Amino acid sequence: MQPAHTPAVSRRRLLLSLALASGAFAGSARAAGDEALPLEAARDALASGRAVVIDIREPDEHARGVAPGMRLLPMSQIGQRLAEIPKDPKQPVLLVCNTQNRSRATAQALRERGWSNVRYVAGGMSEWARRGWPLVAPR
């Protein structure tokens, strides 16, 4: 895990700030509340196909390994690729990043833009890897 002061972490925070400020997402952040989903539930939803699980980490993070079946949509590209995120309230969408900070903020921003079906995965991919769950090379 990288310290909070590294250039890569600072870059990711800047990208989220720019996306929020530029209108890629509207509104202000609010308390996450029930938007978090436990990692085990997310893994089960992914395996069963009950949800679309989107890994919003950046390509340099994907290179370390991704969970089989997750869609890759870097957070820095979400503003330009919103149409790729299902908006159907019957189709759950789960966002995952490295620790849950970016996915929580992105889920909040999407909910403020009208996505009622979006939640973030508690623990993120760092916890997935820590548990020794499968990781594959990105496609």
Query: 113, 124 in Cβ contact below 8 A?
Result: no
Q: What is the DSSP string of the chain?
A: ---TTSHHHHHHHHHHHHHHHTTSS-S-----GGGEE-HHHHHHHHHHTSSEEEE---HHHHTT-B-TT-EE--GGGGGG-GGGS---TTS-EEEE-SSSHHHHHHHHHHHHTT-SSEEEETTHHHHHHHTT---B---
pLDDT computed for residue 10 by the predictor:
46
Catalytic residue flag (residue 97) = yes
The residues near 116 (Cβ < 8 Å, ≥ 6 apart) are 89
Catalytic, out of 97, 105, 118, 121: 97
pLDDT for position 34: 61
Alpha-carbon distances, residue 37 vs 18, 70, 90, 124 (angstroms): 26, 16, 16, 10
Q: What is the pLDDT of residue 67?
A: 97
State the pLDDT at residue 7.
55
Class of domain 7-130: alpha beta
* pLDDT confidence of residue 139: 86
pLDDT score, position 8: 57
Quote the tokens at residue 108: 């909040």
pLDDT in tens, the chain (139 residues): 444 445 555 455 444 544 443 444 333 333 444 689 999 999 999 999 999 999 999 999 999 999 999 999 999 999 999 999 999 999 999 999 999 999 999 999 999 999 999 999 999 999 999 999 999 999 8
Per-residue confidence (pLDDT) for residue 64, from 0 to 100: 94
Task: Report the candidate in 76, 41, 57 with the shortest Cα–Cα distance to residue 125.
Answer: 57
